[in-house]
Structure 1
């Protein structure tokens, strides 16, 4: 099957892209409204793209009526946000936060979650999240119906049992984030396995010299 994205309707492009670029990690993004009310919204068009500088990216579309979402308004106003990773314990609360509320509604409290003051940005992070990243805006790319926001990570909060004793590697039995597949389907990372590069290249292939 072939699909010409230069002529394909937007709804079909979304369906194909989100179905095959999957699973996608979920960012439960916390921000502060101009009047100080906390806001939380789940984003599955999200990932980490660099460690130097430490950059995460959000892709946030407008509402169906074309208006800008509260998260985008808050990020543009304060130039900061926090990404809270989502595991099974947070799954239902994440869905609750995704409901369209009035700007003066505190989604975090509505979902029964706890806001912890941030260390380096305005606002806070969700205490129940296994990992939260405070970010300042590095760059924003604006399209007609979507903003691509690059955030520089300035602080990371990690639940104590998620890392080994040396603080280097994730304990997969304790950190199992969920991710979105397509439509209302999600997956959790409770089945993990290792794949290691072979010690020697295949016969007849020369390994690239180290630079």
Structure 2
């Protein structure tokens, strides 16, 4: 079967995208509000796109009732944020942080997450996160006044010591257990992996 994008509804297009583009990495974004409250929210329209400069992009849409999310309000005001990644031990709290929290209640504090100070930006990172990147805005693309595509430039990386071999510059794959987003309330583990030999072209 096939669908012309112009002939299906907004919600149906959303379902066609998220049902098959799987699994998606999750950006757990920390920002700081005007009163100092630290916000943490997950976004699964997210990925890395370049290394020089290091660029990531994630999409922030409005809430169903039209309200603007705290993450965008904070980034628009400060130009700064931290992208934290999550693993299996943090997955449930990451999911809980997607709830509708009012601006005066910070998800990390409410959920019992520890925060660690950043070096180059004001927003802190989630201390337990396996990986985090301090970012500043590189570019923002406004999509129909309904969604912001935030492209962030990485300024500093934080890697949990037990996951990284600094001499080889490689992750300990047997210890790193990232979680991917499927759809709705469904996530996936990534510990069932396939290894292929190096690809070769025609002789």
**TM (normalized to structure 2)?**
0.96
Cα distance, 1:94–1:198 mapped onto 2, change above 3 Å: closer
Which residue in the other structure is 1:163 paired with? Answer: 164
Rg larger for: 1
1:87 match: 87
* Partner secondary structure for residue 92 of structure 1: helix
The alignment's TM-score, normalised by the length of structure 1, stands at 0.92
Instruction: String of CA shifts for 1:134-172, please: whole Å, max 9, x gaps.
Output: 100000011221000000000110001111251511111
**Pair 1:56 & 2:20 matched:** no
Q: Which runs of 5+ in 2 are unaligned?
A: none
- Identify unmatched segments of 5+ residues in structure 1: 204-211
Q: Report SS of the residue matched to 1:24.
A: coil
Correspondence 1:5-154 to 2 at 5 A: 5-143=5-143, 144-154=145-155
Contact 1:172–1:192 (8 Å) recurs in 2:
no
Residue by residue over 1:161-196, the C-alpha shift from the partner in whole angstroms, topping out at 9 and shown as x without a partner, is: 111251511111111110011222111111223223
> What is aligned with 1:206?
none
Q: Compute the RMSD of aligned alpha carbons.
A: 1.2
Please give the residue correspondences for 1:166-205 in structure 2 after superposition, counting only pairs within 5 Å: 166-199=167-200, 201-203=201-203
In structure 2, relative to structure 1, the CA distance for the partners of 1:30 and 1:195 (3 Å cut) is same
**2 CA distance for matches of 1:6 and 1:53?**
35
Aligned length: 202
